[in-house]
Structure 1
Amino acid sequence: MIAALPFPNIDPVLWSVDIGGFTLAIRWYALAYIAGFLLAWWWGNRAIRNAQLWVNDTAPMTLKHAEDFLTWAIVGVIIGGRLGWVLFYSQGAWLDDPTMIYKVWEGGMSFHGGFLGVVVVAILFARKYKIPVLSLADILALGVPIGLGLGRLANFINAELWGKPTTAPWGVVFPNTPDCPLTWLDPVCARHPSQLYEAILEGIVLFALLAYLAYRRGWLKTPGALAGVFFMGYGAARFFVEFFRQGDAQFTSATNPWGHILRLGQEVDSIGFTMGQLLSLPMIAVGLLLLIYARRTSSTT
């Protein structure tokens, strides 16, 4: 008999109230974003206060800088995340309906897009306030895994982005899986809880690794090194988990010509790259190059 874990069926909406026909709701996903930003800001401030962690025992920015950058980061994540989803995952639907670009409340955010958005605003912020951009990148690298972990937990609560079918005893029976031939309560419908895999690898493991390198190994004294490890760590974790995660339906060979070449998609036996893997490979490469550059630059100064 196939064993499986039932989905806890947590309501994605923590609290809601109807006001004149308009529903005001507080969702776990929104709370994950808010908590992620605030905890990352707090963790970054902790590193800034510890001057001994930095080159010449001097933090690269002030606490006021960190407070100001929080707003910039929020804007970068929201705009970049939405544009990334529209460009990477909407199959060009925005060309027929350009208004969908700003309809964030309808869902659809891309981590890679949000990440690029933060990179852009970080470069602009560093230039504006004359902050070493690589050291700012290191501070961001310390805090981002917190938001990643919380975001993946929110994905699990929303019963979205689930994994491929599995017979593993820790498989979870998610509601509304489209290809389940029986009632969703049947164990044969169990799937990998890939959201939790990502929460562990991209959140807990990556956070612990970066904290160890920063506080125990002194890597913040080599500007850019920690950011390089983050790039590689996230890219490798996401690439690995994609083997267990249900592929994106818009990239199946039936709906996308590239699917015949790359075998993108949601087929159970798909062995080709998914869109998430394609977007993660450049991150791994950039992270490696950044780490090499940081090490070489540090050794010559």
Structure 2
Amino acid sequence: MQAMIPFPDISPEIFSISLFGMEFALRWYALAYIAGIVIAWRLAVSALKSPQLWPGQQPPLRPEQVEDLLTWIILGVILGGRLGFVLFYQPGYYLAHPTQILRIWQGGMAFHGGLLGVIVAAWVYAARQGIAKIQMADLVAYTVPAGLMLGRLANFINAELWGRPTELAWGVAFPGQAAQSCGQALGEICARHPSQLYEAAMEGLILGGALIWLTWRRQSLQRPGLNLGVFLAGYGLARFVVEFFRQPDAQFVTTGNPLGLAWEIGGYGLTMGQLLSLPMIALGLYFALRAKPQPQTKAAT
């Protein structure tokens, strides 16, 4: 029998309470969002209170402006993530059922759409406040990976977005008929790559650690666009690699396309996640390679 790791018995709900006949629950995924926002807020404030990190010792915004920026970013994540899922993954379904688009609580968010939403929201906020856009983008990029890591850990706890079948020793037996349907004999459970943990490590721990090191040890904020470029290219590369181990989206998997490729030619192709990651890698390399040190001038006193 194939060796596999049993899925840990962790409830998606941390706790629940009943009030006035209604049930309210705090789920790990919600806690990941909350903790990610708090960590991002503290990282941003810490960097803004350290003028030596910035060109001319002039941070692009005041620490107290971070709360307003976070409000815009949260809206960008929600609206962009939902619209991205609708447009990238199931446009036909939502075109036929437009009232379903607003039902975010039923699931369906796309990271690449959320990223576009954050870019638009931050760009609008920067334009309204007269803030240097690239410097603010560097700040936001530096704070994002912690939230990504927590979100992927919550995906694992929720037993969602699991990986492709594997015979490796660390394969996990995820619960649910869909996860266990790997073409084996009836009743036989299969193991899958814990791709959520791969993403937590690559998109969160490694990428976040690199950005923190660049910011505080290599003075990367002195080179506008470098943090942004490293984040875009780093995330795009991590997602591109993980897609080889992650179970493709169900709408792309057919009898003639078992690998769930969104684009295929001559027996080779790319998943939707890989297609969307390629522009991120290219744009990230563009920003990183063109980032130049800024002349240093002492801040006015």
When normalised by structure 1's length, the TM-score is 0.90
CA-to-aligned-CA distance 1:1-50 (integer Å, 9 cap, x gap)? 42211100211112223445543221111111111111111111111111
Matching residue of 2:57: 57
The percentage of aligned residue pairs carrying the same residue is: 53
> Could you tell me whether the CA contact under 8 Å between 1:182 and 1:189 is conserved in 2?
no
> Could you tell me whether the CA contact under 8 Å between 1:14 and 1:27 is conserved in 2?
yes
Residue from 272, 287, 297 that aligns with 2:269: 272
2:287 is the alignment partner of 1:290: yes
Alignment map for 1:146-225 (pairs within 5 Å): 146-176=146-176, 177-180=179-182, 181=184, 189-225=190-226
Q: Where do 5+ consecutive residues of structure 1 fail to align?
A: 265-269
When normalised by structure 2's length, the TM-score is 0.90
Distance 2:54 2:273 in 1: 34
Helix, strand or coil for the counterpart of 1:29? helix
Distance 2:262 2:11 in 1: 40
Matching residue of 1:108: 108
Matching residue of 1:143: 143
Residue type of the partner of 2:210?
A: L
CA-to-aligned-CA distance 1:202-257 (integer Å, 9 cap, x gap)? 0000011011111111110011111001000000000001001111111135599x
* Structure 1 residues 45 and 261: CA distance shift in structure 2, 3 A: closer
Distance 2:288 2:122 in 1: 18
Matching residue of 2:233: 232
> Could you tell me whether the CA contact under 8 Å between 1:252 and 1:263 is conserved in 2?
no
- Residue 263 (structure 1) shift: 4.2
Q: Where do 5+ consecutive residues of structure 2 fail to align?
A: none
Matching residue of 1:267: none
Helix, strand or coil for the counterpart of 1:189? coil
* Alignment RMSD (CA, Å): 2.3
Alignment map for 1:23-102 (pairs within 5 Å): 23-102=23-102
> Could you tell me whether the CA contact under 8 Å between 2:262 and 2:272 is conserved in 1?
no
Matching residue of 2:125: 125
* Structure 1 residues 243 and 261: CA distance shift in structure 2, 3 A: closer
* Structure 1 residues 216 and 11: CA distance shift in structure 2, 3 A: same
Residue type of the partner of 1:103?
A: R
> Could you tell me whether the CA contact under 8 Å between 1:171 and 1:193 is conserved in 2?
yes
